[in-house]
Structure 1
Amino acid sequence: MSLTLWLTFLVAAVLISISPGAGAVNTMSNGLRYGVKQSMPAILGLQLGYGAQILLVGAGLGALVASSVWALAVIKWLGVGYLVWLGIQKWREPVVESVADDQPTMSGQKRFWQSALVNLTNPKATVFLVALLPQFLIAGQPHGPQLITMGTTLILVDCLVMLGYTLLASQLFRFMTTPYRQRQMNRVFGGLFVTAAVALASFKRS
């Protein structure tokens, strides 16, 4: 892959990552509640799900899923249900009375797998990757190295963008010192998860 082609792909990767979606909502929610450092498991979980999608497409299975109405529908409605569940959980999440170490929080491992499922159950990512990656593959050259380059670029860019979202969200914590404000913010993010579920439910292939 030439430098010019890679830079074009890099721009596309940045635009993909900064666009609002369930992953961004999940990241900002974690950043607001746990801060940057403690949000790393969630960010890494998102990348696991994203990486699985890239591998799926790279192995040729993504095209099969994207062409199967039944398979896409199953993944789609699993994702819808999961996002609604996350929204309800966030809406009901208890407020943080203090930042003491004994304050009960969700474990990093649980947040890792929760975030991984957010991306794993997003069929829009599969369809998008199926449409995007072939546009940058150079015919006559081995596809493996090209896919590795593009997949690595997508994941690294998404990590940086999610870190940015986390940093911005963590700065809001200073304003969320009262139970009322925290409760309202939990309901905002709960509503955003449900909104993402509605958007996913309305997703139709062109």
Structure 2
Amino acid sequence: MDMHVWLAYVATAIVFSLAPGSGTVNSISNGLSYGTRRSLMAIAGLQVGLAIHIALVWMGIGALVAQSALAFSVIKWVGAAYLIWLGIQKWRDRSSFVAQQSNHQLSSIQLMRKAVLINLTNPKSIVFLVALFPQFIDPAKDQLTQLLVLGITTVTIDAFVMLGYTSLAAQMGRFIRSDKIMSGINKVFGSMFMGCGALLAAAKA
């Protein structure tokens, strides 16, 4: 994988991980309830779920590439359009972002198990990866190597971002709960998603 392609993916993966979602809510909730250190197993659990999604996505994309180059090109265009649509939806999102503190303490294993299930049961994650991966995969090069690079990059970035959210929540819980702040975050990341989609579409022209 060329360095400029990887760097472009790193930028996109950072936006993907930073955008508020179920994993973010879980990380902030754990940070508020348990602190950073006790939440590390939950962060690991989120990455286990994400890694499983990556493997599932790759099996589908690999089969698609093997069967039809045209179909692969189509899904790349659909993926770019999806990023723009996701940005519009995120811009318009007015949902609350209140992380509830737990009334009872969970063990580290329980926190990890809960986090794995949160990511595994999040269909938006796997759909996003289906839209994202083909933008950065060269069908003419070794597929497995590219998957490993993208997968490891995705998991590493997401782990650091979730750690950041957890640590921030542990120190600034009241600020993070603000609906006004959440609205601003949605608009910022909505704009980023639309920008990424537009750039990907322009690169194919």
TM bracket (short chain): 0.5 to 0.7
1:54 paired residue number:
54
Give the SS at the match of 1:52: helix
Q: Map of 1:118-133 to 2, 5 A cutoff?
A: 118-133=118-133
Q: Which residue of 1 aligns with 2:115?
A: 115
Following superposition, the deviation at residue 167 of structure 1 comes to: 0.9
- The Cα of 1:62 is off from its aligned counterpart by 9.8
TM-score (norm 1): 0.64
Deviations 1:132-186 (CA, angstroms, capped at 9, x unpaired): 101111121110000000000000000110111011011136x7xxxxxxxxx7x
Partner of 2:37: 37
CA displacement at 1:125 relative to structure 2? 1.1
Distance 1:146 1:61 in 2: 12
Q: Which runs of 5+ in 1 are unaligned?
A: 65-89, 95-103, 176-184, 193-206
After TM superposition, which residue ranges in structure 1, 4 or more long, deviate above 2 angstroms? 61-64
1:161 aligns with 2:166: no
Task: Mark the CA change 1:7 to 1:120 in structure 2 (over 3 Å): closer, same or farther.
Answer: same
How big is each residue's C-alpha offset from its partner over 1:93-125, in whole Å with a ceiling of 9 and x where there is no partner?
42xxxxxxxxx6210101101011111011111
Per the TM alignment, residue 33 of structure 1 is displaced from its structure 2 partner at its CA by: 1.2
For residues 128 and 63 of structure 2, what CA distance do their matches in structure 1 show?
A: 10
Task: Report the Cα distance in structure 1 between the residues aligned to 2:51 and 2:109, rounded to whole angstroms.
Answer: 18
Contact persistence 1:63–1:130 (CA under 8 A): no
Name 1:71's counterpart in structure 2. none
1:28 matched residue in structure 2:
28
Give distance in 2, aligned partners of 1:61 and 1:141.
14
CA distance, structure 1, for counterparts of residue 60 and residue 32 of structure 2: 38
Return closer, same or farther for 1:61/1:4 CA change in 2, 3 Å cut-off: closer
Distance in 2 of aligned mates of 1:62 and 1:116: 25
Displacement of 1:38 = 0.6
Q: Is the 8 A contact 1:57 1:63 kept in 2?
A: no
In structure 2, stretches of 5+ residues that fail to align are 65-99, 183-205
Q: How many residues align?
A: 145
- 1:7 to 1:52, Cα distance in 2 relative to 1, 3 A: same
2:135 and 2:151 map into 1 onto residues whose CA distance is: 14
Q: What fraction of aligned residue pairs are identical, expressed as a percent? A: 43
Aligned 8 A contact 2:10 2:153 in 1: yes
| Residue matched to 1:148 | 148
TM-score (norm 2): 0.64
Structure 2 residue aligned with 1:9:
9
After TM superposition, the structure 1 = structure 2 runs for residues 59-138 of structure 1, keeping only pairs within 5 Å, are: 59-60=59-60, 90=100, 93-94=102-103, 105-138=105-138
Check conservation: 1:27, 1:166, Cα contact below 8 A. yes
When structure 1 is superposed on structure 2, of 153-162 and 104-113 the one drifting more is: 104-113
